[in-house]
Amino acid sequence: MGLNIKGRHFLSLLDYSPEEIRYLLDLSKDFKSMKRSGMPHRYLEGKNIVLIFEKSSTRTRCSFEVAGMDLGMGVTYLDPGSSQMGKKESIADTARVLGRLYDGIEYRGFEQSLVQTLADYAGVPVWNGLTDQFHPTQMLADLLTIEEEFGFLKGLNFTYAGDARNNLGNSLMIACAKMGLHFTACAPKALFPAEDLVAKAKEIAIESGGSVKLTEDIKTGTTNADIIYTDIWVSMGEPDDVWETRINLLKPYQVNAQMMANAKPEAIFMHCLPSFHDTNTTIGADIAAKFGIKEMEVTNDVFESKRSRVFTEAENRMHTIKAVIYATLH
Ligand code: CP
Ligand code: NVA
């Protein structure tokens, strides 16, 4: 294939060419079929990785752990608060320590500049497991899920409904632009992605044959969509007092049966998860009691419908993360 990304960091898809993303998706497919057929792939025996989480996680943490173990590696998990990082030791010092002990470092935290600093000092590949701005490993899983569904990526109509300036909105806009999808952010103006990032995405889309559009209008934003994607309305790290404003802003952008009916008949629903589609969580129940809303960014009927691909996306996190680890370390 002629592509080699050994030694590279994985901080944002902005740093990766469409050919490199294609290579990672193809590698993910290989790993998925190896896993499905029970073929061992302990290609990285003797190596060790560390996972730093400053925010909580189910999918990302478990995907890195299972991927690491399947590849034959040792895996250390550092939970929020259990290391010295940030409190007694700077990110730069932590990076220089961990870089001497491990072959790769995953980091989930707040500002993108933190994972960048870690990468600048570690001397080994650093993988972004989510920051306030970007969630690149999620993107690979989402692109893989879409390609498995439709057989291709280029030219598909992708609508992101909801908080379009969060890590998912930003990342999906870039991922779609890189791979030639037609991306629409369907959101209130106050939650449009930052202008400079939109300009960058539009430039990238010119190269790939895709496009980038922002609209407040739900009908315009969702008509003929092949994919409708949403994410929670208040992200990790945001204060609780934004819930009320966010609910008021985003209630019209809830993905429900009416919105799905605007999309193509074969359209799929996607969500990175976790999702507030019912009140079976403490936060979901608390919001229902406070604001009288039992389903937030997606209704339970859409979440549970045959058009929903959310659990395939979750599984694909592991196969794609395995591809990133392997490609950057082997
Ligand atoms: N989608 C995702 O990143 O999930 P976790 O927060 O559970 O890792
Ligand atoms: N926007 C969400 C994504 C979770 C995977 C958050 O940052 O909390």
* Pocket residues: Cβ below 6 A from ligand 2: 130, 166-168, 231-232, 235-236, 272
Q: What is the pLDDT of residue 1?
A: 52
CB 302 within 8 A of CB 269: yes
Distances (CA, A) of 103 to 109, 222, 232, 288: 20, 44, 33, 45
Domains and CATH numbers, the chain: 13-134+315-329 (3.40.50.1370), 157-225+227-262+268-306 (3.40.50.1370)
- Residue 2: pLDDT band with limits 50, 70, 90: low
Strand partners, 127: 10, 106
Ligand 2 centroid distance, CA of 237 (Å): 9
Residue 246 Cβ contacting ligand 1 at under 6 Å: no
| pLDDT tens per residue across span 21-45 | 999 999 999 999 999 999 999 999 9
Q: What is the pLDDT of residue 80?
A: 86
**Positive or negative: CA dihedral 280, 284, 290, 295:** negative
| pLDDT tens per residue across span 161-218 | 999 999 999 999 999 999 999 999 999 999 999 999 999 999 999 999 999 999 999 9
Q: What is the residue-averaged pLDDT of the chain? A: 97
| pLDDT tens per residue across span 107-130 | 999 999 999 999 999 999 999 999
CA 128 centroid distance within chain: 10
Looking at the chain, the whole-number percentage of residues with pLDDT higher than 70 is 99
| pLDDT tens per residue across span 58-113 | 999 999 999 999 999 999 999 988 878 888 899 999 999 999 999 999 999 999 99
Nearest protein CA to atom 2 of ligand 2, as residue: 235
